[in-house]
Structure 1
Amino acid sequence: MDNQAVKKKPIVLTESLNVIIAFAVVSVIGIIIIPLPPIILDFLLVFNISLAIIILVLTLFTHSVLEFLSFPTLLLITTMFRLSLNISSTRLILSEGDAGQVIETFGNFVAGNNYIVGAVIFIIIVIVQMLVVTNGASRVAEVSARFTLDAMPGKQMAIDADLNSGLITEDVAKLRRSNLEKEANFYGAMDGASKFVKGDAIAGIIITLVTLIGGIAIHSLQGGFTIMEAINHFGILTIGDGLVSQVPSLLISVASGILVTRTANEKGLGDTIGGDLFNTPQVMFIGATLLAVFALVPGFPFIPFMTLAVALGVSGYLVNEGQKGKVKEEIAMQVQAVSAQEAEPVEETASQFQVDRIAVEIGYGLIPLANEDQQSNLTNQIAAIRKQLSYEMGILLNPIRIRDNLQLGQYDYVIKIKGNEVAQGVLYPDQFLVVEPGGIEEDITGTPAKEPAFGLDALWVNEKNKEIAELHDYTVVDPLTVLVTHVKEVMKTNADELLGRQEVKELLEGIKDQYNVVIDELIPDILQLGDVQKVLQRLLKEAVPITDLVTILETLADYGNTVKDPETLTEYVRQALKRTIVKEHLDREGLLHVLTVHPDTEERIASSIQKSTQGSIPVLQPQEVNALFDNINEQTAMLAAQGIPFVLLTAPKIRPAMKNMLSFNFPELAVLSLNEIPNDCAIESVGFVSINE
């Protein structure tokens, strides 16, 4: 019970504060309508001045605008509060010839019993507020809002890049995006809120003039005052009324200017300004010398100039000595750190010797591609494809290591998986790769090459020939895109090797909040984490995305009690993912073209299947295997020439063995079973294969 009471207490306080604020805002309108006694008006005027001082001091101690997001709303409320008090005091002045002690004291103290002096001071305050403070703050808020909105896409991309590269967590990324949105909203709100202050100043002038003219007219004609007595009396009251309103307004205008000109800084305003102004002793020495020279000039006051010169010189000396002490302290700490490193042996951890899951090594001529000062660089692009593959394949990929390798050629690069080279290529940073799937027939000068990701014929051309290629509708690719595309295809092809137990665990933890029932049921009571990993790897090896992880886990939970063989479990999962598998192979009309296996061949393969640690594989005679491969080669060449997408359709019992046998010679050929075809999918047979010569 006590814990519940403690938890509910902040909520109750928050609700009470909301009610109080709502009541206060509505009361502002009431002040305009309901006449106030002078003593209550005095109290509210003092409260207004105190609130303005608190807001000003608070802006001096904020480190960024994110700490005072309510300021635009507060600016509107305080403006309306000031205007309501101004109207209420005007009513008292016009009706009773008195507006309380605060206004009268302000008028007498500032004006010095001379309403002309008070009027001049009032006008000066209004001019300073409107033309200097408010105008400048409004312009800064407008420009800041524009620049903040323009910079949002770049900042969001930087946040995504840090998240994809593993530098920050998802929670930190969400916080940064939220702060970025709040900052943009703040400057946008301040751009409009500054107009309230301008309107407040104009309204203050009008109310002051109305009060002065109305008070003189009413009380000279009806109240028994002479013209001069009315001018003197109501001049003092009017000026006091105007100053009581405009002084808090000026304070809040200064606060708004300070807030919108602040930059995000961990230090307070005093530390920031002090560090900027008094951080260079040479400047202070020069200033002290110039002040001393002015002190010696005939006619100039000696004492003020010389006093400031001495103070500035002493300050410069103290700052200089302090900096020397800091340098000595830093050197001593560095020496101590080096000594400690030499005295203590460096502990080597196992993680220092582990190879990266995937790494890209580049020659020294390709280092500019990884320059982080460029908006589009290798690091950002690879982070983007990691995120893209996560959405396409459903796997979480570790950050990719990018390093230079002086043993490579100047423009060479290699892609390694688990420390072993799986792909390599050559790039020319100052040239472009021209690709045309059907072959380049136009007379374009360039260096013949192969597009590394897909093995297409291509040319490396210069800037001039790039324009010629674009005119003939060839695909022109910059070197960075060539490398990034190659890395992406290598990652897709080897996705099964990149999915370790740690990655599987992170995948499961990512959906556990929503689907904890199936995960708790499956692991570890039915299957171990390693068994789930093997099924997922088999799916990825055949380019089946694991984005529908819930269906995969539910299928494993259904069959895992009776079946422990990963290959058989994978077949059950594939049948559950039939729509996901088939949709990748449909043509534009939604038709699935299939090569079928001759019934005799299916029977022959089924009778020769043997199990191994790598899965099922048919043990056929060499001539049978050659005849089958030749038949498939002939069929695929004919269909590829016609541009028809197709799959090999087999009986469910031989599908795994058939795929394993064909994976070395036909890695891109998709092998599907009849159980993996949805009932509503239209099928068209485009041929059949057999082992008969």
Structure 2
Amino acid sequence: MNPRRLSQLVVPVGVIMIIVMMVVPLPTLLLDLLIALNITGALLILLVSMFVQRPLDFSILPALLLVATLFRLALNISATRLVLLDGFAGNVIEAFGHFVVGGSLVVGMVIFLILIIVQIVVVTKGSERVAEVGARFTLDAMPGKQMAIDADLNAGLIDEAEARRRRAEVAAEADFYGAMDGASKFVKGDAIAAIIITLVNLIGGFIIGMMQRGMSAGEAIQTYSLLSVGDGLVSQIPALLLSVATGLIVTRSATDGDMGSNVSQQLGQHKRALQIGGGAAVALCVIPGLPKLPFLLVGGAVLLIAQRLPNREATADEPTETVAGPAPDSTESLIGEMRVDPLELALSPDLVDLVDPTTGDLLDRVRALRRKMALELGMVMPPVRTHDDLDLPLSTYVIRISGVEVGRGQAPPGTVLAIGEGLQALPGRAGTEPVFGLTGKWVPTELQYQAELTGATVVDRASVIITHLAEVVRSNASRLLGREDVRALTEMTKRTHPVVVEELTPALLSLGQIQKVLQSLLDEGVPIRDLVRIFEALSLRAKVSTDADGLVEAARTALGPAIAAQRAIGGALPVITLDPQLEQSLLEALRPAETGAFLAIDGARAETIVSQIGRLAEAAEQAGTTPVVACSPQLRAPLSRLLHAGARRVPVLSYSEISGSVSHIETMGVVNGAYAGAA
């Protein structure tokens, strides 16, 4: 039979045989063999618990404790049956009853009771408490560990496979300590059962010996009591070994070696302590009445061991050598602390439940947002470093870009955001949707259904944060597009269209110039997914001029159909146009500059143009449409910068981008700034 197949059958067959042992009588020879197997198995488990480097390396221990306890109880039942029926339960039990305890019933009872007290009161009780506290602390620490893993993943320090392995290890650790908390009850229950079984054997043997076998009271007590005590000792010795193994496992800390190595290594680090201890043992020899030889031998041995240890402890006069890592003020350490994350989401301590996989899915949504932004904008959103911030007020989250706060909001625990009218009757506190500025109320989660009945839109806390984060990324996409990102995008395009990339860079444009063009496109809400078309347009334009505005306009013209289709509604594009005379005068006012062309007009006229466009845009938005401003290609970039300076985020498209891209143009108004007075 295949060894693997055989190993899979050992435990199921063994458990079935244990159940059979409780019912079917066993011959004494087989019982002796099984008792020896029980003692050896318990000793083996104890030794393994000492040699494992981590508790999780022996994660099968809780199940082994259950099987071993069941096996030991089955042996008790089998031995009890043979003791009461035949007055003989094998050579092992007889040896423990006569030789180990010297044939004395009193000695056997005393030793048996001492073993029971040591197991229940000392070892099992302590192991049970340690396992309970360990399980509780492990579960409490899970959210923080999960958040640390996800933070390392988002920061790019580990890959997805390593993150899954660490999450599985955290979950396994919690399951292990929870199982050990329950398994320690098996050991405790086994010790109590041993007392009851031994008392039953004593009473039952006394009755059977006198009433069925015609023994005298002394003979019955002598025969059956020694066998009962021997049976109890045979079962309690392996039970004590398993109790000690349980205590060793649950009290192990996070170390890198087995228990013996750790003990010798850590005790060996304190040479002075060993010298003092050995000297104190030798000094006890001078006390009158105490035997001198034992203390002299022990103290001398300790002093000899201390003498052979190397000097590992630094004295006050000796410089301390450390290899733990760079000093706090070293260049390496300071550079690490100076590192600024490109995108950061800080949560107040009471919002940590959002990143706990058992109670929230914020981190999963952040990962999904990265994919969404990549498909929407054409750039890879930087990993979001998510962490708690003790300096934040309760229920507050903050979004930072390169260490600078760009967004802040509220997400009170245990609530959902209801947006709508008629919420006065519901308890909660007022809130505002951070992206669109809609007023609402944070109501308790259990009242979500009542809020929906009022016609309100109900949004959970994670959705509020993710919506806010997505809007921040869209608004600041150009700031998040770094030189390394441009290089990665260029390399990706080169794999499928090598000629396009080789013609463009580095022969015509550097990566920095390409980055500036892509940032300008993102700044005006233009996706950069179609890099092949963008690079082709830049190659043609760069042969004529590398002017920044000209490169951007060339790229926009190539993307014109996609830009216009993005703003069109059902094939119709709502447009705000400029009066021809105004447009001509603005063209005449164009002046070149290093940062791009600008409009050389007075402030009053500029304010009039901006305010007129703003009023027309607001009127169109109230009608349910989002208009764009159409103008000549030369005027598009300067006019867009003018509107942005006036805090008007109205898209500006050139005639070349619109022509042939939409089926219908709907005029929303004409700006006649040449004839308007100052606003």
Normalising by structure 1, what TM-score? 0.61
SS of equivalent residue, structure 1 residue 666: helix
2: CA distance between counterparts of 1:582 and 1:357?
Answer: 39
- The alpha-carbon deviation at position 73 of structure 1 amounts to 1.5
- The alpha-carbon deviation at position 538 of structure 1 amounts to 6.5
- The alpha-carbon deviation at position 161 of structure 1 amounts to 3.1
Instruction: Name the structure 1 match of 2:54.
Output: 64
Return the match for 2:299 from 294, 306, 309: 309
2: CA distance between counterparts of 1:636 and 1:356?
Answer: 41
What does the per-residue CA deviation read over 1:385-422, in whole Å, with 9 as the maximum and x for residues that have no partner? 9989847744243799xxxxxxxxxxxxxx999xxxx9
> Superposition pairs for residues 225-624 of structure 1, below 5 Å?
225-320=215-310, 390=370, 393-394=373-374, 395-397=380-382, 492-497=477-482, 500-504=485-489, 523-524=496-497, 540-543=522-525, 566-567=555-556, 570-571=559-560, 578=566, 596-598=575-577
Instruction: Name the structure 1 match of 2:112.
Output: 122
Which moves more between the two structures, 630-639 or 44-53?
Answer: 630-639
What does the per-residue CA deviation read over 1:326-380, in whole Å, with 9 as the maximum and x for residues that have no partner? x9999899xxxxxxxxxxxxxxxxxx9xx999889xxxxxxxxx9xxx999xxx9
What does the per-residue CA deviation read over 1:265-288, in whole Å, with 9 as the maximum and x for residues that have no partner? 112212222233332222223223
1:636 and 2:614 equivalent? yes
Instruction: Name the structure 1 match of 2:86.
Output: 96
Q: Which amino acid aligns with 2:577?
A: H
- The alpha-carbon deviation at position 116 of structure 1 amounts to 2.0
- The alpha-carbon deviation at position 177 of structure 1 amounts to 2.1
Q: Structure 1's 539 and 102: CA in aligned 2 closer, same or farther, altered over 3 A?
A: farther
Instruction: Name the structure 1 match of 2:165.
Output: 175
| Contact 2:610–2:643 (8 Å) recurs in 1 | no
Q: Structure 1's 282 and 490: CA in aligned 2 closer, same or farther, altered over 3 A?
A: farther
Q: Structure 1's 621 and 74: CA in aligned 2 closer, same or farther, altered over 3 A?
A: closer
Q: Structure 1's 164 and 621: CA in aligned 2 closer, same or farther, altered over 3 A?
A: closer
Q: Which amino acid aligns with 1:20?
A: V
SS of equivalent residue, structure 1 residue 63: coil
- The alpha-carbon deviation at position 297 of structure 1 amounts to 1.3
What does the per-residue CA deviation read over 1:491-535, in whole Å, with 9 as the maximum and x for residues that have no partner? 5452334562454489x7xxxxxxxxxx99x82479659999989
2: CA distance between counterparts of 1:13 and 1:625?
Answer: 89
Q: Structure 1's 621 and 235: CA in aligned 2 closer, same or farther, altered over 3 A?
A: closer
2: CA distance between counterparts of 1:690 and 1:304?
Answer: 107
Q: Structure 1's 569 and 201: CA in aligned 2 closer, same or farther, altered over 3 A?
A: farther
| Contact 2:577–2:631 (8 Å) recurs in 1 | no
Q: Structure 1's 185 and 322: CA in aligned 2 closer, same or farther, altered over 3 A?
A: closer
Return the match for 1:17 from 7, 15, 30: 7
Instruction: Name the structure 2 match of 1:688.
Output: 669
- The alpha-carbon deviation at position 637 of structure 1 amounts to 6.0
Q: Which amino acid aligns with 2:637?
A: N
Which moves more between the two structures, 163-172 or 619-628?
Answer: 619-628
- The alpha-carbon deviation at position 540 of structure 1 amounts to 3.3
SS of equivalent residue, structure 2 residue 669: strand
2: CA distance between counterparts of 1:332 and 1:275?
Answer: 17
- The alpha-carbon deviation at position 627 of structure 1 amounts to 7.3
2: CA distance between counterparts of 1:73 and 1:125?
Answer: 24
> Superposition pairs for residues 155-170 of structure 1, below 5 Å?
155-170=145-160
SS of equivalent residue, structure 1 residue 494: helix
1:85 and 2:66 equivalent? no
| Contact 1:31–1:84 (8 Å) recurs in 2 | yes
- How many residues of Structure 1 are paired with residues of Structure 2 in the alignment? 523
SS of equivalent residue, structure 2 residue 26: coil
Return the match for 2:651 from 659, 671, 677: 671
Instruction: Name the structure 2 match of 1:207.
Output: 197
| Contact 2:46–2:241 (8 Å) recurs in 1 | yes
Instruction: Name the structure 1 match of 2:422.
Output: none
What does the per-residue CA deviation read over 1:194-231, in whole Å, with 9 as the maximum and x for residues that have no partner? 11111111111111111222122123311343322221
Q: Structure 1's 537 and 389: CA in aligned 2 closer, same or farther, altered over 3 A?
A: farther
| Contact 2:53–2:256 (8 Å) recurs in 1 | yes
- The alpha-carbon deviation at position 87 of structure 1 amounts to 1.2
1: CA distance between counterparts of 2:283 and 2:200?
Answer: 53
- The alpha-carbon deviation at position 689 of structure 1 amounts to 3.9
Q: Structure 1's 49 and 686: CA in aligned 2 closer, same or farther, altered over 3 A?
A: farther
1: CA distance between counterparts of 2:496 and 2:267?
Answer: 63
Instruction: Name the structure 1 match of 2:416.
Output: none
Q: Structure 1's 526 and 184: CA in aligned 2 closer, same or farther, altered over 3 A?
A: farther
Normalising by structure 2, what TM-score? 0.62
Q: Structure 1's 280 and 322: CA in aligned 2 closer, same or farther, altered over 3 A?
A: closer
2: CA distance between counterparts of 1:638 and 1:582?
Answer: 17
SS of equivalent residue, structure 1 residue 262: coil
Q: Structure 1's 104 and 670: CA in aligned 2 closer, same or farther, altered over 3 A?
A: farther
Q: Which amino acid aligns with 2:669?
A: F
What does the per-residue CA deviation read over 1:531-584, in whole Å, with 9 as the maximum and x for residues that have no partner? 9998976663334678xxxxx57x979x999x99854564565578x5xx899x
Instruction: Name the structure 1 match of 2:20.
Output: 30
Q: What's the Cα RMSD here?
A: 5.6
Instruction: Name the structure 1 match of 2:36.
Output: 46
> Superposition pairs for residues 130-145 of structure 1, below 5 Å?
130-145=120-135
Q: Which amino acid aligns with 1:597?
A: I
Instruction: Name the structure 1 match of 2:627.
Output: 649
Which moves more between the two structures, 268-277 or 191-200?
Answer: 268-277
1:74 and 2:64 equivalent? yes
| Contact 1:136–1:257 (8 Å) recurs in 2 | yes
Percent identity for Structure 1 against Structure 2: 34
| Contact 1:650–1:671 (8 Å) recurs in 2 | yes
2: CA distance between counterparts of 1:691 and 1:75?
Answer: 88
1: CA distance between counterparts of 2:573 and 2:562?
Answer: 21
| Contact 1:596–1:689 (8 Å) recurs in 2 | no
- The alpha-carbon deviation at position 134 of structure 1 amounts to 0.6
SS of equivalent residue, structure 1 residue 223: coil
| Contact 1:631–1:689 (8 Å) recurs in 2 | no
- The alpha-carbon deviation at position 60 of structure 1 amounts to 0.6
- The alpha-carbon deviation at position 174 of structure 1 amounts to 2.6
Q: Which amino acid aligns with 2:120?
A: M
| Contact 2:576–2:627 (8 Å) recurs in 1 | yes
Q: Structure 1's 284 and 625: CA in aligned 2 closer, same or farther, altered over 3 A?
A: closer
Instruction: Name the structure 1 match of 2:432.
Output: none
| Contact 2:479–2:519 (8 Å) recurs in 1 | no
Q: Structure 1's 89 and 647: CA in aligned 2 closer, same or farther, altered over 3 A?
A: same
| Contact 2:612–2:671 (8 Å) recurs in 1 | no
What does the per-residue CA deviation read over 1:624-645, in whole Å, with 9 as the maximum and x for residues that have no partner? 9997984343332686799969
Which moves more between the two structures, 58-67 or 276-285?
Answer: 276-285
Q: Structure 1's 527 and 177: CA in aligned 2 closer, same or farther, altered over 3 A?
A: farther
